[in-house]
């Protein structure tokens, strides 16, 4: 029996193999299927193995990874992945993740990871510059937009005057009904936040949208007014910049004026489209993000960072500290003037997320990031033009960024397009997702992976046409 970690020699030789494999994976990605259909039962059977009592050679584990895990993945890093919002584990991001794992520092307090905490502040300041958010705002990196929005909703709730939620909580007292507002097209993470905080799904008011899927401010105003008349307590509005289905953009300034007037917390979910702010011609489409009391933007969506990293920024000074700060005896340490991130979130142990963002922004530069986002928008518009000029297809929403909602015209369009999606994804050539727009099945073609080029979008269009024609004539 030996103790301790694997030897340095073993680590070095395995590390070389792993990095060689990753390089080949990227080199050959174009030739492998984006996804391989396999039933959950079959997959569970293939991966099932007994709890290992004896140590196994790393070579064997690596072989199993290559032979039993990789072939049954949906490859998000694939250039022909066009579903949901595609993301990217870019080279610099992967290098940074590897280094962060090697250091394994814990950013709960400044003193537990000084330069890592300082770097988190540095990248948050960069993000503020990138999306034009006030420099004196506060912020934190979270694992994703869903938790970021949950934390924002919690902070907003704690800011409601006269409640003393911190000490008294929500139960066992007579309180008004808390109300949250968002458009019908906002992401379900806001519903989850309301669910988690005990607000209840019935109290998430879904404000109707206009013909371009943007929240209608006059309906927001009317809902708030009606709720106040009923004695409810409105406290939180979420506007979205880049909704999940169509990437529509809510009218931020009008919504912000309503929130100011009504003294409501405005949260802006710009998790997908927020970084489009760095592209001058897209900046007006994004709008003025600085109106948000809290803002979420996701480097793990459209900024080439591997999962998981999201930036949560807010303006009300101390709001998150007042909500989450709690320092037990075993975490007290001398004041060193640094930020103790554990006091801004319910999370204690935190990984070194800032490193990948630092690496990605530095290695591509603002210029490189800008050009890449621009190219994705160009590719999506190329695809939208093909849809628009083909009489057998129709586009179902505007394309402000890099996502196209479309369908094939048919006598039974929902059935036809559902079948088309299944057929397309079964080919393994491309991967698309769908949504429903006013009850109509819409296929979503989203460009966001750093490896996607013109030829991949052209291949995708050819395949979509072929499969659609196959169904129509089959
Ligand atoms: N908000 C929007 C608009 C989204 O599209 C998504 C996911 O696609 C989310 C929030 C949730 O993001 P995350 O997966 O980072 O929690």
Rounded to the nearest whole angstrom, what is the distance from the C-alpha of residue 146 to the centroid of ligand 1?
6
Q: Provide the pLDDT for residue 412.
A: 97
pLDDT in tens, 391-402: 999 999 999 999
Would you place residue 119 in the very low, low, confident or very high pLDDT band (cuts 50, 70, 90)?
Answer: very high
From 271, 402, 446, give the residue whose CB has the most ligand 1 atoms within 8 Å, as the site to mutate: 271
CB atoms within 10 A of CB 67: 10
Best residue among 152, 272, 289, 299 to mutate for probing ligand 1's pocket (most ligand atoms within 8 Å of CB) is: 272
Q: Check pLDDT > 90 for residue 336.
A: no
> Average pLDDT of 304-332?
96
Cβ–ligand 1 contact at 435 (below 6 Å): no
Radius of gyration over every alpha carbon of the chain, rounded to an integer in angstroms: 24
User: Residue 93 pLDDT more than 80?
Assistant: yes
Residues 420, 438: Cα–Cα separation, whole Å? 19
Q: Mean pLDDT for the chain?
A: 97
Tokens of 348: 């204690």
Q: How confident is the model at residue 1 (pLDDT cuts 50, 70, 90)?
A: low
Strand order of the β-sheet with 178-183 is: 138-142, 310-314, 294-297, 265-269, 233-240, 178-183, 204-207
d(CA 250, CA 238): 10
In the predicted structure, residue 333 carries a pLDDT above the cut 90: no
Q: At how many degrees (to 10) do helices 188-196 and 145-159 cross?
A: 50
**Residue 35: which pLDDT band, with cuts at 50, 70 and 90?**
very high
Percent of the chain clearing pLDDT 90 (strictly above): 97
Which residue's alpha carbon is nearest to atom 12 within ligand 1?
145
Beta pairing partners, 183:
207
Q: Could you report the per-residue pLDDT of 215-264, keeping only the tens digit for each? A: 999 999 999 999 999 999 999 999 999 999 999 999 999 999 999 999 99
**How far is the centre of ligand 1, averaged over its atoms, from the C-alpha of 392 (Å)?**
32
pLDDT band at 474 (very low <50, low <70, confident <90, very high): confident
Task: Flag whether pLDDT at 11 surpasses 80.
Answer: yes
pLDDT (tens digit, 9 = 90+) per residue, 432-447?
A: 999 999 999 999 999 9
- Atom of ligand 1 minimally distant from the CA of 149: 10
User: What's the rounded mean pLDDT across residues 309-318?
Assistant: 98
Residue whose CA lies nearest to ligand 1 atom number 4: 244
């Amino acid at each position: 029996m030996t103790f301790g970690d694997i030897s340095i020699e073993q680590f070095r030789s395995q590390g070389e193999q792993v990095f060689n494999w990753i390089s080949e994976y990227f080199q050959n990605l174009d030739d492998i299927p984006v996804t391989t259909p396999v039933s959950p039962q079959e997959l569970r059977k293939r991966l099932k193995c007994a709890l290992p009592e004896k140590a196994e050679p790393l070579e064997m584990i690596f072989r199993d990874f290559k032979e039993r895990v990789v072939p049954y993945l949906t490859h998000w890093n694939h250039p022909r992945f066009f579903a949901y919002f595609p993301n990217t584990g870019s080279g610099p991001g992967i290098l940074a993740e590897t280094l962060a794992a090697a250091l394994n520092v814990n950013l709960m307090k400044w003193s537990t990871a000084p330069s890592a905490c300082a770097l988190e502040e540095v990248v948050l300041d960069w993000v503020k510059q990138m999306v034009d958010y006030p420099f004196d705002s506060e912020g934190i990196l979270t694992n994703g937009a869903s938790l970021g929005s949950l934390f924002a909703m919690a902070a907003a709730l704690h800011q409601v005057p006269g409640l003393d939620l911190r000490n008294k909580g929500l139960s066992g007292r007579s309180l008004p009904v808390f109300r949250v507002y968002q458009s019908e097209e906002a992401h379900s993470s806001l519903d989850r936040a309301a669910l988690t905080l005990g607000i209840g799904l019935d109290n998430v008011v879904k404000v109707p949208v206009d013909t371009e899927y943007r929240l209608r401010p006059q309906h927001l105003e009317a809902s708030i007014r009606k709720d106040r008349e009923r004695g409810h307590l409105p406290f939180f509005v979420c506007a979205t910049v880049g909704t999940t289905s169509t990437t529509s953009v809510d009218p931020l300034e009008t919504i912000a004026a309503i929130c100011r007037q009504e003294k409501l917390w405005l949260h802006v979910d710009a998790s997908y489209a927020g970084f489009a702010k760095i592209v001058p011609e897209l900046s007006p489409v994004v709008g003025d993000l600085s109106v948000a009391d809290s803002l979420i933007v996701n480097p793990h969506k459209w900024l080439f960072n591997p999962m998981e990293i999201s930036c949560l920024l807010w303006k009300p000074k101390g709001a998150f500290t007042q909500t989450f700060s709690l320092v037990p005896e075993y975490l007290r340490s001398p004041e060193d003037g640094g930020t103790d991130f554990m006091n801004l979130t319910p999370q204690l142990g935190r990984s070194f997320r800032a490193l990948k963002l630092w690496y990605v922004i530095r290695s591509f530069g603002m210029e490189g990031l800008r050009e890449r986002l621009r190219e994705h928008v160009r590719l999506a518009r190329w695809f939208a033009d093909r849809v628009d000029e083909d009489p057998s297809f129709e586009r179902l929403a505007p394309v402000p960024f890099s996502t196209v909602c479309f369908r094939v015209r048919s006598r039974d369009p929902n059935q036809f397009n559902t079948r088309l999606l299944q057929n397309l994804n079964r080919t393994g050539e491309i991967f698309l997702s769908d949504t429903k727009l006013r009850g109509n099945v819409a296929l979503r073609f989203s460009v966001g992976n750093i490896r996607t080029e013109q030829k991949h979008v052209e291949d995708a269009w050819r395949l979509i046409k072929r499969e659609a024609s196959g169904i129509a004539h089959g």
